[in-house]
Amino acid sequence: MTFIPKPKISHPSLPRNELGLTRRDYEGALSTLCAGCGHDSITAGIIEACWGISVRPENLVKLSGIGCSSKTTAYFVSGGHGFNSVHGRMPSIAMGANAANRDLYYIGISGDGDSLSIGLGQFCHAIRRNVNMLYIIENNGVYGLTKGQFSASADIGSKAKKGEVNQQPPIDPVLLAMNLGAGFVARSFSGDKAQLVPLIQAGLKYPGFALIDVLSPCVTFNDHEGSTKSYAFTRENYEPVVEADFVPKQREITADYAEGEAMSVMLHDGSRVLLRKLAADYDPTDAHASYDYVQQHIAQGEYLTGLLHCRPTVATEFHALNRTPEQPLNQLPFSALNPGSRQLEKLMARYR
């Protein structure tokens, strides 16, 4: 059973957002994942992020494929529209839905199996099309629902629960996304909510394809000694290299950042992402520099986290390239779509 309704009781003193909603209004059904699963922390991060930027629940489209991670769309924002599709094919559903209505928030939740094996093609092509969506990979290096097989993100030398050692090279979604031209590429850790929440907020607001690869340990099948996706390994080897703050358009930037250290990337609605570098030799707004920097560190066994790359790609966003109108396609009146009988009569001349 993966659906348990939660009782809707909330304390009157709970804080409310701009819409007058409390965090509880952004919750979903009770999770049926294993106790301690990293995915549940990410779910909590999404709830916090959506509440924080006052997303109207009915304007949130939650998409997923198949797997433990894909189940979680049921566990947040029950007032949103969920679509749990088929294995590895969530990006195409997202593309179609986004083409039909550009005005909604699209959040896709996937896993390393769903995105890097069966769905690798669709993942890549969603990036190429620059679909305006936030794509979260809940990455644990393992197939949980089928009990512990390696996934394509498993590192060489990482040990399975039963002792088998992975010998095939991993696919890193962060490097892959940068390589394919994604304009918003982040890596985070399910245990670092302070880092994750602003990343989710910025990703939802980013006008284009935004990827967050979240290391999310599988407590049942991949949290043992010798695994490179365990809580212990992640805490030791994952290092924040850039801090990102999401700044809504109404708010002034008040934090005091040293000159040259902070960079601001403007989003389409006037809100901003503020990047604060923790390393001086790193420019997260430059696609090539970001790629090289991240890759070099991986070669040294260091996994950098944060908003590793961010640059505006609004000009190549799907709707911009397709010249679709501001009004969503699913709301155009029929009269704007149907050319009428006289036009048809004229067209007939071509076929005589």
Q: Which residues bind another protein (CB under 8 A)?
A: 1-3, 5, 56-61, 73-74, 78-86, 89, 91-101, 103-104, 121-122, 124-125, 129, 318-319, 322-326, 329-330, 332, 334, 336-341, 343-345, 347-348, 351-352
In angstroms, what is the minimal distance from the CB of 107 to another protein? 12
In angstroms, what is the minimal distance from the CB of 30 to another protein? 12
Judged by beta carbon, residue 78 or residue 179, the one nearer another protein is 78
User: CA–CA distance from 320 to each of 184, 198, 251, 277 (Å)?
Assistant: 17, 26, 28, 31
In angstroms, what is the minimal distance from the CB of 321 to another protein? 10
Q: Among 305, 310, 55, 69, which Cα is nearest to 195's? A: 305
- Rounded distance between C-alpha atoms, residue 291 and residue 288, angstroms: 5
In angstroms, what is the minimal distance from the CB of 297 to another protein? 31
Tokens 């294995």, residue located: 87
Strands 105-111 and 142-143: unpaired
- What's the start-to-end Cα distance of the chain, in Å? 63
In angstroms, what is the minimal distance from the CB of 52 to another protein? 19
Q: Among 74, 56, 55, 78, which Cα is nearest to 64's? A: 74
Judged by beta carbon, residue 99 or residue 298, the one nearer another protein is 99
* Angle subtended at Cα 342 by Cα 340 and Cα 344, rounded to the nearest 5 degrees: 75
- Rounded distance between C-alpha atoms, residue 11 and residue 78, angstroms: 19
Judged by beta carbon, residue 84 or residue 271, the one nearer another protein is 84
Amino acid of residue 246? F
Judged by beta carbon, residue 145 or residue 266, the one nearer another protein is 145
Q: Among 125, 41, 61, 130, which Cα is nearest to 89's? A: 125
- Rounded distance between C-alpha atoms, residue 71 and residue 64, angstroms: 8
Tokens 């957002």, residue located: 17
In angstroms, what is the minimal distance from the CB of 118 to another protein? 10
DSSP state at residue 168: S
- Rounded distance between C-alpha atoms, residue 277 and residue 237, angstroms: 18
Judged by beta carbon, residue 96 or residue 169, the one nearer another protein is 96
In angstroms, what is the minimal distance from the CB of 171 to another protein? 17
Judged by beta carbon, residue 316 or residue 324, the one nearer another protein is 324
In angstroms, what is the minimal distance from the CB of 61 to another protein? 5
Judged by beta carbon, residue 82 or residue 198, the one nearer another protein is 82
- Rounded distance between C-alpha atoms, residue 284 and residue 327, angstroms: 34
Judged by beta carbon, residue 78 or residue 285, the one nearer another protein is 78
